[in-house]
Amino acid sequence: MENNSIIYKLILFIAIMMSVFSCNKTQEHKESPFIIVVKLLSAEQKLDYNEAQKYIDVDKVYSKYLGSKDPEKEWKELLQFNYNLGKDPKFSNSIDFYKYDITENITKEDATVVLTEKDIEAPIKKIIYKLDFLQNQWIVTSIDYIKNE
């Protein structure tokens, strides 16, 4: 009878450990909203449209700003413009993250990543990325630029 009790406890312990390991493994592989923003910006900077679209809902984000019937086309044109502008030594199309205070606020279904410019004279005070948790990953669904007044 004691053998059955030991076996039962061993099986219960193994089941609990497998459950804990399984949960931790799932959480370890889930990328944070900030990582998604970094990957999005990196892909956009390289004009890798297919990669960038893994991290952003282009229609949702850019139809808000551009108000066009083809936000994807205008998004690509905007990225191309920024890419070309970045070739000029006076400009850069990359983000220097060290120049920002970065905060991340995560709930179960949505998140925000806020880049607050440290330079109080900068024309853009904050960039706010809003993300939704869709199909088991974070997707940028809104980008707001707060101007310095």
Q: Where are the domains of the chain?
A: 1-30, 33-147
| Contact (Cβ atoms closer than 8 angstroms) between residue 57 and residue 139 | yes
100-106 and 110-117 strand pairing: antiparallel
Phi, psi angles (nearest 5°) of residue 27: -70, -35
Q: H or E stretch including 141?
A: strand 137-147
- Report the pLDDT value the prediction gives residue 3, as an integer from 0 to 100: 53
- Burial class from Cβ neighbours inside 10 Å (0-12, 13-18, 19+) for residue 108 reads exposed
Give the whole-angstrom CA distance, residue 42 versus residue 54.
12
pLDDT of residue 25: 42
Residue 75, judged by CB atoms within 10 A of its CB (0-12, 13-18, 19+), counts as buried
What is the full per-residue pLDDT of the chain (149 aa) written as tens digits?
Answer: 555 566 655 565 565 656 555 544 444 447 999 999 999 999 999 999 999 999 999 999 988 766 677 888 888 988 898 888 877 766 776 788 899 999 999 998 899 999 999 998 999 999 999 999 988 899 999 999 999 87
Of 3.10.450.50, 2.40.128.120, 3.40.50.11540, 3.40.50.720, the CATH number of 33-147 is: 3.10.450.50
Question: What is the per-residue pLDDT for 62?
Answer: 84
Q: Is 117 exposed, middle or buried (0-12, 13-18, 19+ CB in 10 A)?
A: middle
